[in-house]
Amino acid sequence: MFQELVHAKAFQNYLEKAHFPQAPQYLYDPIRYILSLSGKRIRPLLVLMGAELFDKSVVEQALPASAAIEFFHNFSLIHDDIMDVAPLRRGKPTVHQKWNDNVAILSGDALLIKAYQELAKCPTEKIPSLLHLFNVTSLQVCEGQQYDMDFEMRTQVSEPEYIDMIRLKTSVLLGCALQMGAIIAGADERSQTLLYDFGVNLGIAFQLQDDILDVYGNPKSFGKQVGGDILSNKKTILFIKLQELISLTDQEELDCLLRQSVDVEPKKVEKMMNLYAKYDIQTLAIYQKEKFTTIAYEKLTEIQVEAGQKEALFSLANALMHRVR
């Protein structure tokens, strides 16, 4: 993982040189704040690794594109947090919580524009195709967020609908990050598409794993409250699978559980886990996760570059998919 650390450092340096004016402070302070919360910086890393896969000499040229992806991601966090009325992000107050909704709306807007400003710094001849990909992806992310909010209002969501929602909301951006790197490195279109598909499928697998870990993760190593999704009645892959398979009698118990908060029913998580166990939901969900992981690996395998050059991406994928948190 040595090379990843080099990339992470290069990205961090680039970010520190990024210029955000002092005034108006309510526009730019929130941007500095959200970027300082940092997170895992997986997305910009993917841009650099996507470039490196095809041409080690262009990694530096890919830094503005990696910043574009990170800025976009953080813009979407600021606005999603308003919509979800989330008080915390990465353990710190969200922007709308620390300031207010108006500040969060406008600073989010500015950060989205800043993402495009980074795109404009990419190698000139690559800008049209980068812009096209970035636009399509950004719009898909908005669509995914809308579907996510729509699904909260519905009682029934099918598995294909759910998979499509997480694909749009979170996975296409990973594919886009990798493909942007590939575009900058001058990869051919087939290779670009394979790398994109690797990212998207890995992203879906990662999200499914997140759903699984929420219930079956080790409480000590999983960063969040175990069973949090159950307590908030979230429509995860586990929940959707259960709804698909549940008998009429168990459906009554499920409906009852969904109406009860943990104050009324302290065993809510335990009872839901019993239902999951009865229908072997964990196995089914793991099967789905593995399916997308396998597709991802196949796509990466198909790319026509020397096997050794793919090592970094394979090991990143391994690290993400066998993670304990």
Whether the CB-CB separation of 197 and 175 falls below 8 Å is answered with: yes
Token pair in block for residue 317 = 């994928």
Q: Which is closer to its own copies, CB of 84 or CB of 188?
A: 84
Find the shortest distance in angstroms from Cβ 144 to its own copies. Answer: 9
Among 99, 116, 216, 279, binds its own copies (CB under 8 A): 116
User: Residue 106: which of 29, 21, 39, 169 has the closest Cα?
Assistant: 29
Q: Which is closer to its own copies, CB of 119 or CB of 303?
A: 119
Among 142, 258, 277, 319, binds its own copies (CB under 8 A): 142
Whether the CB-CB separation of 78 and 111 falls below 8 Å is answered with: yes
CA pair distance 322, 212, nearest whole angstrom: 12
Q: Which is closer to its own copies, CB of 142 or CB of 324?
A: 142
The verdict on 131 binding its own copies (CB under 8 A) reads: yes
Tokens 């795109």 sit on residue = 119
Among 146, 243, 260, 309, binds its own copies (CB under 8 A): 146
Find the shortest distance in angstroms from Cβ 154 to its own copies. Answer: 12
Among 62, 68, 112, 246, binds its own copies (CB under 8 A): 112
Considering only the stretches 9-17, 146-154, 169-177, 227-235, report the one whose residues sit in contact with its own copies under the rule CB under 8 A. Answer: 146-154
Q: Which is closer to its own copies, CB of 144 or CB of 227?
A: 144
CA pair distance 325, 224, nearest whole angstrom: 9
Among 3, 4, 14, 27, binds its own copies (CB under 8 A): 27
CA pair distance 30, 63, nearest whole angstrom: 22
Among 8, 37, 127, 321, binds its own copies (CB under 8 A): 127
In the chain, which ranges are continuous DSSP H helix? 2-17, 25-36, 42-54, 63-83, 95-98, 101-119, 127-153, 159-166, 172-184, 189-216, 228-231, 237-245, 248-259, 268-278, 281-302, 307-321
Between the two ends of the chain, the Cα-to-Cα distance in Å is: 18
The verdict on 201 binding its own copies (CB under 8 A) reads: no
Q: For every residue of 156-214, which 3-state class applies, written as one string?
A: CCCHHHHHHHHHHHHHHHHHHHHHHHHHHCCCCHHHHHHHHHHHHHHHHHHHHHHHHHH
Near its own copies in 48-87, by CB under 8 A: 79, 82-83
Write the DSSP symbol of residue 220. Answer: T
Find the shortest distance in angstroms from Cβ 224 to its own copies. Answer: 24
Considering only the stretches 103-111, 232-240, 286-294, 297-305, report the one whose residues sit in contact with its own copies under the rule CB under 8 A. Answer: 103-111
CA pair distance 227, 223, nearest whole angstrom: 12
Q: Which is closer to its own copies, CB of 106 or CB of 305?
A: 106
Among 37, 86, 105, 231, binds its own copies (CB under 8 A): 105
Q: List contacts with its own copies (CB under 8 A).
A: 24, 26-27, 79, 82-83, 101-102, 105-106, 108-110, 112-114, 116-117, 119-120, 124, 127-128, 131-132, 134-136, 138-139, 142-143, 145-147, 149-150
